[in-house]
Amino acid sequence: MALISVGIDHEHASLDLLERASVPEHGWSKVLRTLMIQRNVHEAVFVSTCLRTEVVAVIDRFHGAIEEITHTLGEATGLAPETFTDHLTVNFDRDVATHLFSVASGLKSVVPGEFEVLGQLRRALELAIEEQTAGPEITELFQRAIASGRRVRNETPIARGSTSFAQASVMMATDDLGVNLDGADVIIIGAGQLAGGIARTLLDRPARLRRMTICNRTIARGERLRDDLADPRAVVASLEDVTTLISTARLVVAAVEVAAPVITRSDLERCRQEVLFVDLGLPRAIASDVAGLANVRRIDIGDLRERVGQALGDRRDAVADAQRIVADDVEKYLSDQRARGAAAIVSDLRELFDEVVAGEMARRESDLEGLTLEQRDKVASLLRSVVAKIAHRPTVVLKEAAGTDQGTRLSEATRTLFDL
């Protein structure tokens, strides 16, 4: 069996395709259950965020697994496989660890070092464990990747400054685009982790907002976020209230998963004062057709990605340091995996030899009838001693080579030769 990752991400697909390929978190369990009925999939974790929809799995046949995972992604997203197969990112065997550790470290994020991805990976693993689709191999892979992500953020400055969509989007709105929020009304659409980060960032800015309205599908969840913020400027409204509230807002930030935009072009046409809309949702929560609307400006993840790319100059060294840590952690993980594999083979080999000795003693029982119990024990001891001497050199070499490419080849050869 081997590891594989198959996904659609912002590095190889358009925002439009990413939008159509996203799967709401409440649909992840169904994807996992579908994956586990496939012939070539033995373990699986599934994660879908605004910029990444991906399966990490333990598989048998490579091409068979690719076909099964692609078919499952098509079913989950409602897309015909031919619309996204040319944009898939596929990693196999040791490259899966390098890929996942890099994702966890924020090296593959629009905002390098952003911390939200760690929570996304952790939730994906927890769900897979709950659904019993994550076995020991894939569980350790994710746990080690998340640990490496934390190490990168602790040991390098990659996470300094703007370290999340929340912070980067607020900085772009207030600093780059010059939106003055003194005495302004702000609307946050959504009440999840991303929305919470945006709300905190805005409330901590020097500008004093007049009111922040949290609009969410579930009022109770919006109220929990309001209570966590513990700021009298934060109030709660329903998602249906958004179209009325935007008439007095200066900034509207959408960080929510919706099937269709909650703010349409006709809603935007009613804006009588200048307002900036920041759409961080995929699928999009705010209509993208704003051409010809005098009072409306709109930015989304694409604009954010461009801004971050331009601002990376002073963080190149941090990225390089993070890459070195990831490479080091990946090598340690792979070495540990190979060492455990060698230990398992040595154990299986010794168990096989013991079974051969016991089987031969039982098969030749009639030939030993004239021997006393003590003499039979001596014969069995002699057999075990001979077998142990024969097995000594192979087991020593397997242990010494553990964690190397030669050890991997020797392990594979031993399994083949002894049918382990």
Mean per-residue pLDDT of the chain: 86
3-state secondary structure of 134: coil
CA 59 – CA 38 distance, rounded (Å): 10
Which architecture characterizes domain 2-158 according to CATH? 2-Layer Sandwich (3.30)
Confidence class for position 51, pLDDT limits 50, 70, 90: confident
CA-CA-CA-CA dihedral for 288, 292, 295, 297, to nearest 10: 40
Mean pLDDT throughout 24-41? 94
Q: Which two tokens stand for residue 195?
A: 């929305």
**Rounded CA gap, 237 and 230, in Å?**
16
Average pLDDT over residues 334-354: 79
pTM of the model: 0.66
Q: What whole-number distance in Å separates Cα of residue 206 and Cα of residue 39?
A: 57
Given a cut of 60, is residue 274 above it in pLDDT? yes
Helix (H, G, I), strand (E, B) or coil at 242: helix
Q: Highest-confidence range of 54-68, 193-207, 330-344, 353-367, by mean pLDDT?
A: 54-68
- Position 101 pLDDT exceeds 60: yes
CATH 3.40.50.720 domain span(s) along the chain = 165-310
pLDDT in the model for residue 312: 55
With a cut of 70, say whether residue 133 has pLDDT above it: yes
Convert the pLDDT of each residue in 216-248 to its tens digit: 989 999 999 999 999 999 999 999 999 999 988
Return the exposure string of 206-233: e unless at least 16 CB atoms fall within 10 Å of the residue's CB, then b.
Answer: eeebebbbbbbbeeebbbbbbeebeeeb
Question: How confident is the model at residue 348, as a pLDDT?
Answer: 82
CA-CA distance, 210 to 233, in Å (whole number)? Answer: 6
Provide the pairing of β-strand 275-279 with 296-300: parallel
Residue 47, helix vs strand vs coil: strand
pLDDT higher for 392 or 312? 392
Contact 45, 133 (CB under 8 A): yes
pLDDT (0 to 100) of residue 250: 92
Q: How far apart are CA 323 and CA 317, in angstroms?
A: 10
Residue found by looking up tokens 């069995």 in the block: 380
> Once rounded to an integer, what is the mean pLDDT over residues 335-358?
79
Check: CB of residue 13 under 8 Å from CB of residue 95: no
Residues known to be catalytic: 50
Q: Which CATH architecture has domain 165-310?
A: 3-Layer(aba) Sandwich (3.40)
**Chain region(s) in the chain for CATH 3.30.460.30:** 2-158
Binned at pLDDT 50, 70 and 90, residue 383 comes out as confident
The answer to whether residue 35 scores a pLDDT higher than 90 is yes
Distances (CA, A) of 109 to 2, 256, 286: 26, 19, 23
Amino acid identity for residue 332 in this structure: K
* CB-CB neighbours of 18 under 10 Å: 24
Backbone dihedral region of 190: left (phi > 0), alpha (psi from -120 to 50 degrees) or beta?
Answer: left
> Which of 137-146, 185-194, 300-309 has the highest mean predicted lDDT (pLDDT)?
137-146
pLDDT the model gives residue 73: 96
Confidence class for position 350, pLDDT limits 50, 70, 90:
confident
Question: Six-digit token pair at 349?
Answer: 């080999």
Residues 6 or more apart in contact with residue 191 via CB below 8 angstroms: 214, 216, 218, 221, 222, 224, 225
Q: Is the pLDDT of residue 314 over 60?
A: no
pLDDT grade for 167, boundaries at 50, 70 and 90: confident
Asked if residue 82 lies in contact with residue 29, where contact means CB atoms within 8 angstroms, the answer is: no
pLDDT above 90: percentage of residues in the chain: 42
Cis previous bond, 283, omega within 30: yes
3-state helix, strand, coil in the chain (%, to 5): 60, 15, 25
pLDDT band at 363 (very low <50, low <70, confident <90, very high): confident
